Amino acid sequence: TEVQTTRVDGNFNWTLVRVYSDAGVAGTGEAYWGSGVTDLVEEAASRIVGENPCDIDRLYTEMVRGLSAQGSIGGAAVTAISGIEMALHDLAGKLLGVPAYQLLGGKYRDEVRVYVDCHAGAHSTEDTAGAYSPEAYADAAAAVAAEGYDALKFDLDTREESDEYSRHLSPDDIAYMESLVAATTERVEADVAFDCHWNYSGDSARRLAAAVEEYDVWWLEDPIPPENHDVQREVTRGTTTTICAGENLYRDHGVRQLIEEQGVDIIQPDMPRVGGMGETVRIAEMADTYYLPMALHNVSTPLGTVAGAHVAAASPNFLAIEYHSRELDWWADVVEEDVMTEGRLDVPDEPGLGVTLDREVVAANLLDGETLFDPAPEA
């Protein structure tokens, strides 16, 4: 009957989406953050009001078709559609009395592995002079591992001396990055991934990947820009270091070439951005036909993160989902349930997503000018 949004001032501008029905039930989802997403949610919603919310895949297709003028091949229009699609899984699950993973074909696993986005440097110390030293990285890794996490990720593109526009890494740049990888992987038992945020040329990426081959790198993420999949394929095939990419891509079509040409070793879509829960399982299954694992990029609230856990449960080749709010002490309070323990997410068995927003916490942290959406009727 209606779709409303509420934006929360978290460590990102979290965008919550609620779909109301005339059956006395509402479903709640989350779209990846970004300007214009709430307007695009409103536009997408206009395409599905009056429809049966249980026809999730058809409504997804209707929204993609309906928003062609707003760019539904990729970008914020797909992000907005993703938030509605997630809310439809919550709503349909509640209407049918089944958990969302059941709508996705059922589960392969009961708990979902989490990896933690970590920072040495300015995020974790006042001492910016030594903040990006190998010792600072190793200390930060040890501190996070001591909290019970066994999978971590660090930024590797922190050196300001690099000429960012040439995308070129000097031998000295690579030696410095290798020293960060060496110190971190040697200090902790955990799996450790390293993110390069699309910064380097193919040649630089190949030399960097070669330089870290001798360490226990879980994966090297986005060493080159995200657009040219021919270069991505050559980088991946040129090294034994595991290469991961995908968070900047949209819809199944956006990842098809990378998967078919084995241009990555791990595909990593962002579920509330790439097209939503059903689209992400379709991507997982496409990747699985090439025996490629899938990780999930994730910067969501606990609600969007648990939606990711349903997708993870329903995807055979799932590896781990990101947790990007370790330094925000009220992240877990956004929902009433305890969703994460010891670096693992439970997969709820309650209908829909199985989590309930804490309205007081959401209301206390709204972005300026935002209003809290209407309560969900009791199911």
Q: Which residues in this chain contact Mg ion in the complex, by CB under 5 A? A: 195, 221
Nearest to 25 by CA among 93, 86, 85, 71: 93
CB of 171 to Mg ion, least distance (A): 25
Tell me which residue has tokens 């090297």. Answer: 220
Query: In this complex, which beta carbon is closest to Mg ion, that of residue 5 or of residue 82?
Result: 82
Backbone angles phi and psi of 250, in degrees to 5: -130, 135
Nearer to Mg ion, 88 or 120 (CB): 120
| Distance (Å) of CA 266 to CA 114, 219, 230, 292 | 16, 8, 16, 6
**Partner residues linked to 30 by β-bridges:** 16
Report the DSSP beta bridge partners of residue 244.
Answer: 221, 266
CB-CB contact of 60 with 86 (8 Å): no
Cβ-in-10-Å burial (0-12, 13-18, 19+) of 334 comes to buried
In the complex, what is the shortest distance from the CB of residue 255 to Mg ion, in angstroms, rounded to a whole number? 15
* Complex with Mg ion: residue 43 or 221, whichever CB lies closer: 221
* Nearest in space to 117 (alpha carbons), one of 261, 290, 331: 331
Helix (H, G, I), strand (E, B), or coil: what is residue 64?
helix
Shortest approach of Mg ion to residue 296 CB, angstroms? Answer: 11
CB 141 within 8 A of CB 105: no
Residue 30 vs 322, nearer CB to Mg ion: 322
Vertex 83 angle, CA 150 and 302, to 5°: 35
Taking the complex as a whole, how short is the minimal distance between the CB of residue 157 and Mg ion, in angstroms?
10
| Nearest distance, CB of residue 160 and Mg ion, angstroms | 19
**Which class for 68: exposed (0-12), middle (13-18), buried (19 or more C-beta within 10 A)?**
exposed
- Round to whole Å and give the CA distance between 228 and 72: 20
Q: In angstroms, what is the minimal distance from the CB of 322 to Mg ion?
A: 8
Contacts for 289 with CB less than 8 Å, ≥ 6 apart: none
- Measured from the CB atom, the residue of 108 and 198 that comes closer to Mg ion is 198
Provide the minimum distance between the beta carbon of 243 and Mg ion in the complex, in angstroms, as a whole number: 12
CB of 109 or CB of 326, closer to Mg ion: 326
Q: State the burial class of residue 65 (Cβ atoms within 10 Å of its Cβ: 0-12, 13-18, 19+).
A: exposed
Residue number with CB closer to Mg ion (20 or 194):
194
| Closest approach of Mg ion to the CB of residue 199, in Å | 11
Return the residue nearest Mg ion (CB atom): 195
The 10 Å Cβ neighbour count of residue 271 is: 29
Structure tokens of 212? 């870290």
Closest to Mg ion by CB, 3 vs 235, is 235
Write down the least CB distance from residue 264 to Mg ion, Å: 13
Nearer to Mg ion, 101 or 154 (CB): 154
Q: Which is nearer to Mg ion, 6 or 204 (CB)?
A: 204
